[in-house]
Structure formats: C-alpha cells, structure tokens
C-alpha cells in the first residue's frame, strides 16, 4: 500500500529537478574550468623543466636563443593598445550609455554606432590584419611596424571595451544619479566622481579582455608588425617588432627540441603576463571599490 501523498510526490519531483539542474551546472563548470586547467598545466609541465632565466635577457636567434625582443615587443604592443583602444573604447562606451540613449534623442545615432561596433567585433582578425597590411603597411608605405599593428589591434578590441563600459555605466544605480542631481552636481562632475567610479570594475574587466586579446593575437600581427629578432626601437613605423605569439606558433612547427622549448617558454611567459594583468586589475578594483554598496 502506498503512503506517498500527492504533495510528497511533488516534493520528490522538485528534488529530482533540483538535482538535475545542479548536475548540469557542475558539468558546465567542469567544461569551462577543465580545459583552462589542462592548458595551464600542460604549458607549465613542458616549459618549466627546461627553463633558463636567460630567456628573459637574450634576444631570439630564430629557432633558439632567448625571447627578450618578443617579451618587450608584446609589452609595448599591449601598452599601446591600452592607450589607444582604452581611450577610444571608454569614450565610446560613455557615449553609448550617456549621450546616445535612444529614449533621449528619439531616433538615436547610438543605434547605428552600436551596430557598427558589433559588426566590427565579429570580423575575423586575419581579415582585419590583411586590411591593415594593404591600407597601412603598403598603402601608406609604413612597412611592417608598430603603428599599423597597434591600430589594427585597437580596432579589434575597441568594441569589447566600449560594450563593457556601456553596460557598466548602465548598471550604476539610478539613486546615485538622483542624489547627485539633487545636490546640483553638473552632469560632467557626476560622471567623473560618481558614475565612472561606480562603473570601474566593469570597465576594468573590458580593458583586461582587450589587453589579453592584444597580447594573444597572432594573425593580424603577422600582417602588420612583421617580425624581428631585434629589440623594439623607438620608431612607430618602418621598423618591424617581435612578439611572443609568433614564437609560440613558429617554433612549435620546427623539428628541433630546442625550438619547442622556446615555444613552451613563450607560452608560459604569456600566461604569466595574463595572470599579472588579472591580479593587478583585481587590486585596482578592490582598492577603488572599498566603499561600494556590495562591500559591507
């Protein structure tokens, strides 16, 4: 004889559903975290046993030697992208969020601009690289050099920064704005002192993604930056520049063990760079958000 009442049956069904959801969530987590861990472990395991510190202090000799030229080159490229794409992307995001609101201007220039940036972010990077090669390196006679590389990479990552900035600004609570307006703060002052400060974590995340992409891209750089074993020079054009991803890719395709070690080293250094970026950005966010509403 059954003693399970209808209400108990419902409870059991709910439990089963809940368990299914939990396992699905766990599976997704493993699906995301697993490959990332695998990647990190493989790189570390392959690079560390053959690690020599002079990789950091000597330049490359093609399939052997160090990576100093590539490390400095990647740092220069990331810094350049931070300046160019960071400025343009954040300003564009502020524009989308504050000035181009559809409800304010009716038709909104914002819609066109926003669509344009979304199209831009969907472009294959190698196509952008080729455009940069034809238009800048050949068309403007800049040759393989830093400036076309920076412009093309910035073009690629501006949408990420703009989007992140826009959504971060939109999430700033209305009551902060109302409070600021009621005190007679000007819109610009409110934006600088209240809105941007509160939106900073989101903006930093966008910039972080942009910099990681800039550091990790290969295809557009092959077309624009060229490659060189020399250290980066002060010239923006006419001088090719080295970068880590080139060595990760090229030396892995070489037959010698020595070349493979260079490839693993380059990958490890890139990983460490991204890690340092992550930690730095978390520190910046923690320092500036210590008075935020969530941090009681």
Partner 1 sequence: MDEITSSEAAARLIDNELSRLDPDANRPTNVISTEGLNLSFGGKSILTGVNMEFTRGTITALIGPTGSGKSTFLRTINRMNDKVPSFKHEGDVKLDGESIWGSNQDLLTLRRRVGMLFQRPNPFPMSIRDNVVAGVRAHRIAKGKQLDVVAETRLREVGLWDAVKDRLGDSPFRLSGGQQQLLCLARALAVGPEVLLLDEPTSALDPLSTESVELLMRAMTPALTIIVVTHNLGQARRVSDKTMFFYEGRLVEHGDTAQIFERPREASTDRYVNGLMG
Question: Binder to partner 1 among 176, 219, 249, 254 (CB under 8 A)?
Answer: 176
End-to-end CA distance of the chain: 55
CB closer to partner 1, 50 vs 170: 170
Select the span of 89-97, 133-141, 174-182, 212-220 touching partner 1 (CB under 8 A): 174-182
The site map against partner 1 for 264-293 (x = CB under 8 A) is: -------------------------xxxxx
Q: How far apart are CA 207 and CA 209, in angstroms?
A: 5
- What is the C-alpha separation between 100 and 114, in angstroms, rounded? 10
Q: How far is CA 244 from the centre of its chain?
A: 16
Min CB(23)–partner 1 separation in Å: 37
Please give the C-alpha separations between residue 88 and each of 19, 161, 237, in angstroms, as whole numbers: 46, 9, 21
Of 188 and 255, the one with the shorter C-beta distance to partner 1 is 188
100 lies in the binding site for partner 1 (CB under 8 A): no
The residue within the footprint of partner 1, chosen from 2, 5, 7, 175 (CB under 8 A), is: 175
Please report how close the Cβ of residue 200 comes to partner 1 at its closest, in angstroms.
Answer: 10
Size of the site for partner 1 (CB under 8 A): 26
Footprint on residues 178-217 left by partner 1 (CB under 8 A): 178-186, 189, 193-194, 197-198
Q: Which helix (H) or strand (E) holds 257?
A: helix 257-288
Backbone angles phi, psi at 60, to 5 degrees: -75, 145
10 Å CB burial of residue 10 (0-12, 13-18, 19+) is exposed
* Positions in the binding site for partner 1 (CB under 8 A): 103-104, 173, 175-176, 178-186, 189, 193-194, 197-198, 289-293, 295-296
């Amino acid at each position: 004889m059954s003693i399970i009442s209808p209400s108990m049956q419902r409870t059991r069904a709910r439990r089963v559903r809940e368990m299914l959801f939990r396992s699905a969530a766990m599976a997704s987590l493993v699906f995301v975290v697993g490959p990332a861990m695998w990647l990190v472990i493989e790189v570390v395991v392959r690079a560390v046993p053959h690690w020599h510190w002079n990789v950091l202090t000597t330049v490359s000799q093609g399939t052997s030697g160090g990576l100093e030229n590539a490390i400095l080159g990647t740092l220069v490229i990331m810094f350049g992208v931070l300046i160019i794409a960071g400025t343009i992307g954040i300003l564009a995001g502020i524009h989308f969020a504050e000035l181009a609101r559809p409800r304010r201007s009716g038709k909104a220039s914002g819609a066109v601009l926003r669509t344009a940036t979304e199209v831009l972010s969907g472009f294959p990077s190698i196509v952008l690289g080729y455009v940069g090669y034809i238009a800048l390196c050949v068309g403007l006679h800049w040759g393989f050099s830093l400036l076309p590389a920076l412009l093309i990479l910035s073009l690629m990552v501006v949408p990420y920064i703009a989007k992140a900035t826009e959504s971060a600004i939109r999430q700033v609570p209305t009551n902060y704005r109302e409070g600021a307006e009621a005190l007679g703060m000007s819109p610009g002052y409110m934006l600088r002192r209240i809105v941007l400060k509160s939106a900073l974590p989101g903006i930093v995340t966008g910039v972080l993604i942009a910099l990681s992409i800039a550091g990790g891209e290969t295809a557009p750089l092959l077309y624009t930056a060229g490659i060189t074993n020399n250290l980066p020079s002060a010239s923006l054009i006419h001088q090719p520049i080295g970068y880590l991803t080139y060595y990760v890719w090229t030396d892995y395709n070489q037959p010698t063990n020595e070349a493979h070690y260079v490839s693993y080293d380059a990958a490890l250094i890139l990983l460490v760079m991204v890690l340092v970026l992550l930690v730095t950005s978390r520190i910046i966010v923690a320092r500036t958000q210590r008075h935020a509403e969530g941090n009681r």
